[in-house]
Structures are given as structure tokens and as C-alpha cells.
Amino acid sequence: MYILGICILCPLLTLYGIISYKNQKIKQTYSNLTKHGMKVFSTLTGYYTIVKNGKKIHIYTYLTPDKIGNKHEITEAVDAKTAQRLRVGDTLITYTDAYETFGNKKIVSHIPGNSIPGSNYDFLVVFFKTGIFFSISLIIVGHILQFLHKLKT
């Protein structure tokens, strides 16, 4: 169990570091979006709803330009109040900013007035923390069993 715990722990720690770094970068970019982000015109291209836990969620897709002028497709969950004023094909003002992690440039955008926060990797961070806790538990149990085995002999 000791060796199994160490074999699982090493990749989990590496992946946890990568995911938490990306998550921190995304959250930082979203928090600075209204202050430092560009105000650009975006075009709504799609709309659909999903029902999650009995609650209706409005999902909009829109094309937004970056600093160079290339268009990027953004998908965003929107609250009911904001969804009432949006129609597919409309042009709307969005805040857009870019961030870079490990050489990959990503664009984040947010519709002003939308109270639903942007997406992030919080679920994966919790998932990897749970895996790390499980691996450490395996290592501790392995040490205890090894100690008990030495006492027996």
C-alpha cells in the first residue's frame, strides 16, 4: 500500500499544481475583467437552456474579437434578468481579456450585468485534493501495517 500511495501521489501532485495554477490565472483574469479588460462589440450566435437541479440555466454563445481582431467563440451561462434582454443575432458590449498559461493563449469574456460568475477549474482542484488525501492515507496505512508486521516478527 505504501508504494501504491507514492505511485499515485506523484502524478496527482503534478496535476494539482498545473490545475490550481490555471484556476488561479482564470480567477485573476475574471476579477480584473471590468477594470483592465477591453470593452468590445460581440455578436450573439446561439442560445439554449438546460435544467440543472430543477433550475433553468440560460446558455449563450457569442463571437468576440481579441486585440488583433480574430474572432473567438465564447459560451457563457447567463442569469434570467440578463437573458430577457438578449436575442440571437444581436450585438452587445462585452468585457474581453486574454491570459496565457504554459504557452496557450486563452480569451475570457463576460457580459456586463450578468451575475453568474465565469467558469473555472474549482471542481478539478477539489477532485485532486481528494486524490492527494487518499494517497496520503494509503501511505500512512502502509507505514502502520509495515510497523505492525515488524512488531510481529
Which tens digit of pLDDT belongs to each residue from 2-56?
Answer: 677 778 888 999 999 999 999 898 888 888 887 777 889 999 999 999 998 888 9
Q: Are 144 and 28 in contact (CB under 8 A)?
A: no
Among candidate residues 48, 19, 52, 51, the one with its CA nearest the CA of residue 120 = 19
Whether this prediction's pTM lies above 0.85 is answered by no
Q: Are 33 and 97 in contact (CB under 8 A)?
A: yes
At residue 30, the pLDDT reads 86
Q: Show the cell assigned to 64.
A: 468576440
Mean pLDDT, residues 77-98? 90
59 pLDDT exceeds 70? yes
At residue 102, the pLDDT reads 82
Beta strands in the chain, from DSSP E residues, in sequence order: 38-52, 55-65, 71-78, 91-101, 104-110
The distance of Cα 68 from the centroid of its chain, to the nearest Å, equals 25
Mention every residue, 6+ apart, whose C-beta is less than 8 A from residue 67: 38, 98
At residue 46, the pLDDT reads 93
At residue 1, the pLDDT reads 66
Amino acid making up residue 133:
F
Mean pLDDT, residues 68-97? 90
State the DSSP code for 116.
S
At residue 133, the pLDDT reads 92
pLDDT confidence bin for 120, thresholds 50/70/90: confident
Mean pLDDT, residues 105-112? 89
